Structure 1
C-alpha cells in the first residue's frame, strides 16, 4: 500500500507518505483477507491521526499540538495495534486463524519511521550498499542473531517458515519501531519473505542500483523472484528519496 498525504496550513505544506507491505497467512482466503484488513485499518488510523484530528482541533478554535518523532511513532504503533486487535477479534468470533506479517515506513521530512512485525523486511540502499533495517521475528532470525547458524542458512533451514510475531496472533503485539534519517539518493524497499527468500541481498542491491525509477525496480524484483522459484507471494514497495 502507498498512501501520500499533504496538509497545508498557513501556506506551509506538511507532506507525509506511508508505505506498507502486509503478507497474509492462514490459507489463501484468510491470508488475503488478513493482509487487506491490516492495510485498510492502518491507512484509516494514520489518516485520522495525521489529518482529521488536527482539523477537528483547529475547528474548535484550539491550536493543533506540535508533532515530533515520538508523536509519529505513537501514531504508527497505535495503527498497528488497532489492526492487530481487530484481526484477533475476527479470529475469535469466526474461529479462524487469519494473520499477517507487516513492515513498512512513514516518511515525514528527512526521516523515515520504520515498523516491522514478522519476517517481512525493510531495506535501505545508500551509496550503492544494501542495509537490512528490520530484524526477522523468526526462528532462523533468532538462530542467526545467536550465532548458531550462518546468515545464508536462513534460505534453506527446514524451519525457516516459523515466525514468532504476526498481526492477529495475540492481543498484545510487539512492534519494532524506529527512526532512520534519509538523504537524497537513498532507496527504501519493503518486501515480503516471498521476495527476499528468492533473491539474495547482492542481487537486490544490483537491481535497485540500476533501476531508473521505483516502478521499474518493483517490476524487476518481482519478475526475478518468480524466475528464481517464486515459491510464495511476492509483494514489494520501493521509494526513491529525492
Structure 2
C-alpha cells in the first residue's frame, strides 16, 4: 500500500508483492523530474524478472550477476544477484540518458523460501520482524546518521531529528557496483514482516510500529493503520508499507500479484538495450 503524502505532488516509491514465489519489495526513488519514480520502478521490476528467471531455470549461482556469496543459500544468491543487476541497469540508464542523471533508489526485499527467510536491503528503506510481541530491524540503514548511531555519537532519537538523516551512504544507481546487506534466518509460524519507506520511519518509532502491528490481525489493515499514522503526523514524504504475515502466506501461494501504484509509461525506454549490453 502506498500514499503520496500531504506535501508531495508525485510518488517516487514503488513496491512489489509476488505471493506466487514469496518475494516482496519496497523501493524509494530519488532524482530529478520523474527520475526517482523511474529508478524505483526499474529496481522492483528488474529484481522480480531476474529472480524469477534464475529460479525457474535453476541457474548455478556461479553464473549469476556477480560472484556467489558462499555464506548464502542458492535463493539468497539469486536475490543478491538480482539486486546487483538492478543496480547496474539503473547506473547505466543514469549514465546514458540526461533526463535520468543522478537518479537512484533504495531497496528492501523479503524472500519467503522453503524453511528460511532472506532479507536484503540497500539504503534506508526498512524491514521489521515482529515476533513474540517484540520488534527487530531486519535491515541496516545506509545513512550518515546511522553510522553516527552505530559509533555511539548520536542517539536514535537524535538521528530521527537530524537534518542529515536522509543523506545516504549507499543506494542503487550511484555507482557501477553495490553491496547489499543480506541476512538469512529461520522463520516462526506467527512471524510478521513490515517493509516500509522512510515516509513512515521518519514519523514513527519502532515501538509505535510494534504497537500498531499487535493491534492488527490483517496485513492490509496493518498497512492502512501505519500509513494513516504517517498522514496524521503530516506525511511530508511518500509513504509505502508492505506487510507479510507468515501464517497467511501459504493461503495465497500460486496467485501472482503485480506491483500496485502509478507507473510511468515510458520509464523503461532503453532498458532492453542496456540489459543486452550487460549480457542479460
TM, length-normalised to structure 2: 0.76
- Give how far 1:109 is off: 2.2
Residue matched to 1:8: none
Residue matched to 1:62: none
Instruction: Give the secondary structure class of the aligned counterpart of 1:235.
Output: strand
- Give how far 1:69 is off: 4.9
Q: Distance in 1 between matches of 2:115 and 2:243?
A: 17
Residue matched to 2:66: none
4+ residue runs over 2 A deviation: none
The 5-angstrom pairing of residues 34-45 of structure 1 reads: 34-45=39-50
Q: Distance in 2 between matches of 1:157 and 1:110?
A: 40
Residues 61-94 of structure 1 deviation map (CA, whole Å, 9 limit, x = unaligned): xxxxxxx952111101110011000001101111
Residue matched to 2:223: 218
Residues 173-197 of structure 1 deviation map (CA, whole Å, 9 limit, x = unaligned): 0111110211111100111111111
Unaligned runs of 5+ in 1: 6-15, 58-67
Residue matched to 2:119: 114
Q: Distance in 2 between matches of 1:138 and 1:28?
A: 23
Does 2:73 match 1:70? yes
Residue matched to 1:233: 238
TM, length-normalised to structure 1: 0.87
The 5-angstrom pairing of residues 73-112 of structure 1 reads: 73-95=76-98, 96-112=101-117
CA RMSD of aligned residues (A): 1.6
Q: Distance in 1 between matches of 2:137 and 2:72?
A: 21
Residues 128-157 of structure 1 deviation map (CA, whole Å, 9 limit, x = unaligned): 111111111000000000000011111111
The 5-angstrom pairing of residues 89-168 of structure 1 reads: 89-95=92-98, 96-168=101-173
Decide whether aligned partners of structure 1 residues 148 and 71 sit closer, same or farther in structure 2, where only a CA change above 3 A counts: same
| 1:110/1:183 contact within 8 Å kept | no
Q: Distance in 2 between matches of 1:158 and 1:192?
A: 18
Give the length in aligned residue pairs: 220
Instruction: Give the secondary structure class of the aligned counterpart of 2:128.
Output: strand
- Give how far 1:112 is off: 1.1
Does 2:28 match 1:23? yes
Q: Distance in 2 between matches of 1:198 and 1:213?
A: 22
Unaligned runs of 5+ in 2: 1-15, 61-70, 248-280
Does 2:213 match 1:208? yes
- Give how far 1:4 is off: 2.4
Q: Distance in 1 between matches of 2:45 and 2:176?
A: 19
